[in-house]
Structure formats: C-alpha cells, structure tokens
Amino acid sequence: MTIRIYNTLKKKKQVFETIEPGKVRMYVCGPTVYDSCHIGHARSVVVFDVIVRYLEAGGYAVTYVRNFTDVDDKIINRANEMGVDSREIAEKYIAEFYTDMDTLNVRRATIEPRATEHISDIIRIIEILMDRKVAYRVEDDVYFAVEKFNGYGKLSGRRLEDMEAGARVDVDERKQSPFDFALWKGAKPGEPSWDSPWGRGRPGWHIECSAMSSALLGETIDIHGGGKDLIFPHHENEIAQSEAAFGIPFVKYWIHNGFINIDHEKMSKSLGNFMMIKDIIKTCHPEALRLFLLSNHYRSPIDYTPRNIEEAGKNLDKFYGTLKRIGEIIEHNSEIVEDNSFDGEYWETFCSAMDDDFNSALGLGSLFDAIRNINRLLDETPDSMSNNTHRQVLSARAQILKIGTILGILAENPDDYFKYKKKSALEKQELDPVIIEDLIKKRSEARVSKDWAKADEIRKKLEAMNVVVEDRSDKTYWKVIK
C-alpha cells in the first residue's frame, strides 16, 4: 500500500517512506496527569490508536511511544491545593487514564514512559546544548536560546519577530530573549527536584519529550503526533532543542489532530464546558463515543452535541443489529460454511480512504455500504439463500469485522452488546424518579376515570423498568427491583 500523510512541517501531503524499511518509530505526546481525561484527550489517543492499528495491518512493525508528563507546574499546583505529594496526584490520574482508555478499547502503546524515569537523559541533552552554546544558565535555571537556532518557527510558520510569548512560556527578565524557554528549573520549596550539574531542580516541559523520544526511538523518528494545540510552543521547541543537540532532522512526519467543540463552542475551562470521558460514557456505549470521534477526518474540528453522540449510537446499533442477524442465520443453517477471509470491495475501499491521510470518516462509508448491502440481500431472500448469496454475506461480514478491528469498534458479541444497551436503558430509567412518579400519577388518574386499559398499559411499562407498584388506601407506593 502507498500511504500519503499530511505533514504539518511541510504543509502538504507526502508519500510515507519510513527511515528503516518495514519499521515505524512513532512518538505521541500523552497527558499531563493532573486531572481526569476529557474528550479532547480521547480524540487524540483514539486517532493515533487507529493509525497504529492500520499501519500494523499493512505489515509495518510499529514501535509506539506515548508518554506521561508526571512532573509539571499543573501537577505541583494541584498537589498543593489538595495537600498531597505530587507523585500521588500523578499516580491517581495515570490510573484514571488507563481506566478511561481501556473502556474506549484503546490498546497500550509499545512503551509508555514517564518523564521522571528519564531525568538522566534530560540532563544529558541539556549538557550537549550547553556545550554547543545554544543554552545558557541563569542562577539555577537553564534556558534554550531560540535566536541561536536558525530553523525556529518552521513547524508553526511563525517568525520570531512576529511572535508573542505563547502558553506555558514564562516571561522572565533574566532571559536573553522573551521567547527563550526553560530546559531546567531550579528547585523551589515543596517541589520535587533532582540533582544536576546546575544544582537541584526539575526539567522543563519541552525537554522531557525530546529526551524520552531520543532515548527510546533514536535521534530521528518517523512520526511524531499530538493535538494541534501542541504545534506551538511545545513541538516547535522540541524541534529546536533536538536538532540543535543532535545536528540531524528530528521527525520526518508531523501529525496533528484537530480540536473538539462542545455544542458549537470551543471546549475550554473558562467556558466550563469540559466533557470528561468518565461522564460521557455514563450516557452512551463507549464504542459510540469512539465511533463519533472517528466520524470526521482527524485534522478537522468535530462538534460534540447530544444529537451527534446519539446518532453515533444509532449507527452502532445498526452495525451490531446486522451482525446479529447474520449470526442467527448461520446458527439456523448448519450447511453454511463460515468465510473468514476479509479481502473484498469494502476492505479495499476502506484501505483506499485510510491510505489518503488516514481518512477514517471516508473509510466509515465502506462500513455503511457493507451493512446496507447485506441487509438488502437478506431482505430479498428471507427464507433461503443461494450459495453465492451466502458467500457475499459472509465475505461482507468478515470485511466489516476487519474494518471494525482497525477502528476499534464491533469488538463485542452482538447479544452482549444489546444486553448492555437494555441494561443501560433500564438503569437510566431507574435513576430518574421524576419519570416514575409521573407515570404513577397518570396511572392513578386512569384508575380514577376507570380507564383500566391505560392503567394496565402504564403498569406494564413500569414493570419493564423493574418498578413494582403497591396501591394503598392513602397513596401508591413503588420500589425498584434489582
């Protein structure tokens, strides 16, 4: 296959050619673990999970590194707020990250390092930069001198003379340039610190990823990814310090996923519209969230609304409903020989979409086509099918399941999926006493007016919700039977 990737560095699509034939070295920036994961984290992690799955399906041996930033100002601030050690905060939210991502069927990366495990690698690179005169010391701090790196701004397209200090770039009059960024921060009371040639302290954010990437994957890698918000300053600074230290290109292909909006507004803490993964999956099947996240091209923004997530859930119902229908036909027709080969038009169409910059949104079209055509064939021959129809249906199912494997959906047995849906629906109803009270009120009104049919209908509806009613002289009482 020939894959074309939009390379943020070159601002265009390029044919994907690995440094070493058949092998991919890929680094993606993971979370700073100071809070629960939100849907923006989910999009980035799911996007790169799918990219890795697709590359591996194409025969590549992928070494995938996704890090945890476990020492950072935000972690320290949160620890101080809660009166605990920063390591406790990091451990808590790393555990939460795994819980969320396991629920979303995200596979573990090949290596998942923590910044604090690579302090010696960080110090080594800073020493190289100091020796090359592109970094300088101010008291116990060490800064990178951006004006001494000629390529600064090539990823973001910004010029130094036009720039303003970006997020996480501290304004410090001691710096030679306001855009210089910290490689090492001198120790402060109550903060974690390590020994270094410049005294005790801790690393800056940007140097952590350069150190982990070079230590685990080498000084030049095939793919580096993350959200668009990381292009500047984080990834720009990674390029500067890595290339200044090693004197060779840092990354061949930069991949960045787009933002998530919440009901047509940018997700931000100031607007109070952060959607946490653990809250979203209380209202929908985890695969529905995953399907929603893949329904737009990864570089495009995507809008989270109740309607959009509901639509993803309905589409997932269609997929599982069709798989259940095929399974029932196989179960009742012993002469059918299952076909597990997945080569065919739907798989080929899917691969064509994914080869064009991992276009999962277009690739999903092949899944809808397969579902639609299978149901048409089954509708046309409800009682008996020819051998040719059998082959078409079973081949299509194999392709659907293969596409589902790449997208990380359709991993459940259809019967289990619909049991989950039913149980989830009942739980939602059980947790809403307002609905139950309203139904009981309507039933009482029907009984008063002697509309026994309506009263019986409401009683059956309550029973379906696992609600048992007891009519007494003073009022009607109810309880939920688990």
**Which tens digit of pLDDT belongs to each residue from 329-352?**
877 765 555 555 667 999 999 999
What is the full DSSP assignment across 207-254?
HHHHHHHHHHH-SSEEEEEEEGGGIIIIIHHHHHHHHHHHSS-SEEEE
What is the full DSSP assignment across 375-406?
HHHHHHSSS---HHHHHHHHHHHHHHHHHHHH
pLDDT at 164 exceeding the cut of 80: no
Residue 468: its pLDDT value, please? 80
Regarding predicted confidence, which is higher, 282 or 45? 45
What are the domain boundaries of the chain? 4-266, 318-420, 432-480
Q: What is the mean pLDDT of residues 28-46?
A: 97
Residue 336: its pLDDT value, please? 57
pLDDT at 104 exceeding the cut of 90: yes
Regarding predicted confidence, which is higher, 335 or 234? 234
Residue 426: its pLDDT value, please? 54
Q: How far apart are CA 107 and CA 296, in angstroms?
A: 21
Q: What is the mean pLDDT of residues 420-448?
A: 76
Residue 165: its pLDDT value, please? 45
Residue 105's pLDDT band (cuts 50, 70, 90): very high
Q: What is the mean pLDDT of residues 63-90?
A: 96
pLDDT at 168 exceeding the cut of 50: no
What one-letter code names the amino acid at 221? I
Residue 247's pLDDT band (cuts 50, 70, 90): very high
Residue 77: its pLDDT value, please? 95
- Contact criterion met (CB below 8 Å) for 214 and 242: yes
Regarding predicted confidence, which is higher, 433 or 78? 78
Which CATH topology does 318-420 take? Answer: Four Helix Bundle (Hemerythrin (Met), subunit A) (1.20.120)
Residue 166's pLDDT band (cuts 50, 70, 90): very low
Percent of the chain with pLDDT over 70: 93
Q: How far apart are CA 95 and CA 418, in angstroms?
A: 29
CATH among 3.40.50.620, 3.40.50.720, 3.40.430.10, 3.30.110.30 for 4-266? 3.40.50.620
Residue 456's pLDDT band (cuts 50, 70, 90): confident
Q: What is the mean pLDDT of residues 168-174?
A: 63
Pairing of strands 221-227, 23-28: parallel
Residue 381's pLDDT band (cuts 50, 70, 90): confident
Using alpha carbons, select from 124, 99, 303 the residue that is nearest to residue 210.
Answer: 124
Q: What is the mean pLDDT of residues 283-296?
A: 96
Residue 167's pLDDT band (cuts 50, 70, 90): very low
pLDDT at 274 exceeding the cut of 90: no
Q: What is the mean pLDDT of residues 196-205?
A: 97
Regarding predicted confidence, which is higher, 474 or 294? 294
pLDDT at 432 exceeding the cut of 90: no
Paired strand residues for 114 = 68
pLDDT at 308 exceeding the cut of 90: yes
Using alpha carbons, select from 269, 367, 295 the residue that is nearest to residue 38.
Answer: 269
- Of the listed ranges 49-63, 187-201, 373-387, the least confidently predicted one is 373-387
Q: How far apart are CA 136 and CA 360, in angstroms?
A: 45
Residue 236: its pLDDT value, please? 98
Q: How far apart are CA 153 and CA 327, in angstroms?
A: 55
pLDDT at 389 exceeding the cut of 60: yes
Taking only Cα atoms into account, the Rg of the chain, rounded to an integer number of angstroms, comes to 28
Containing 346, the helix (H) or strand (E) segment is helix 345-355
Regarding predicted confidence, which is higher, 133 or 450? 133
Cα 301 to chain center, whole Å? 14
pLDDT at 382 exceeding the cut of 80: no
Residue 62: its pLDDT value, please? 98
Residue 45: its pLDDT value, please? 98
CA angle 142, 81, 194 (to 5 degrees): 30
Q: What is the mean pLDDT of residues 454-475?
A: 79
**Average pLDDT of the residues of the chain:** 91
- The one-character DSSP state at 412 is S
3-state secondary structure of 111: strand
